[in-house]
Amino acid sequence: MSTADAPAPKAPELSGPAPKILIVSAPYYHHVVDGMLAAAREIFAQVNAELSIVEVSGAFELPQGVAIAARSGKGFDGYIALGCVVRGETDHYEFICSAAMDGLMRVAVDNGVCLGTAVLTVDTLAQAVARSHETGANKGAEAAVACLRQIALARLMAI
């Protein structure tokens, strides 16, 4: 099944109050990240989430942005990270992708935060557009669903 043929995700059932979510966005490729942001907003609207959105310079800064917010005491229930890295002709791509994804996992585990990630690591801009398009599978929507599932788990374990 291609990305365009995949069904659009839906928000999972969530008990308790509407979640407070922070979206950390690295909008270097605005049209790609904006597409993921729009899809994430649609998922979060299904559970009446309270959204805050901040921007960081690039994918490398996403883990730092989530970490700063997690330590802020602002009471976010969950976070999503949105960004895109397109392969170029140098090793820079490999370093940035690894640092961003490893950093996000480390922040999530070390801080016990509910995190969904949509950091596209693609060979071409066309691949990124296909994963951030309005129809079919959208990685922003998938990140929002992942975040909400983590929140549901955290709330279940708190019982």
Q: Return the active site residues.
A: 92
* 80 contacts 24 by C-beta, under 8 angstroms: yes
| 59 has binding-site annotation | yes
Closest CA to 20 of 105, 114, 93, 137: 114
Question: Any known ligand binding at 135?
Answer: no
89 is in an annotated binding site: yes
The structure tokens listed for 67 are 């970490």
Burial class (CB in 10 A: 0-12, 13-18, 19+), 81: buried
Q: Is 42 annotated as a binding residue?
A: no
| Ligand-binding site membership of 129 (annotated) | no
86 assigned ligand-binding residue? yes
Map tokens 């669903």 to a residue. Answer: 145
Annotated binding site: which residue ranges?
A: 28, 59-61, 84-86, 89-90, 131
Q: Which residues are annotated as a binding site for 5-amino-6-(D-ribitylamino)uracil?
A: 28, 59-61, 84-86
The annotated binding site for (2S)-2-hydroxy-3-oxobutyl phosphate is made up of 89-90, 131
